[in-house]
Amino acid sequence: MDASRAEQIMRSPETIGVKYRDNYVWIEDIDKGRNTAHVTYLEKRNTLHVSIEQLEETGPVSYLH
* pLDDT given for residue 61 in this prediction: 83
62 DSSP assignment: S
The whole-number average pLDDT for the span 11-17 is 93
- Residue-wise over 25-49: b if at least 16 C-beta within 10 A, else e? bbbeebeeeeebbbbeeeeeeeeee
How much is the pTM?
0.86
The whole-number average pLDDT for the span 8-19 is 94
* pLDDT category of residue 50 using cuts at 50, 70 and 90: very high
* pLDDT given for residue 64 in this prediction: 54
The H or E element spanning position 4 is helix 3-11
Query: Which top CATH class is 3-60?
Result: mainly beta
Domain segments of the chain: what residues? 3-60
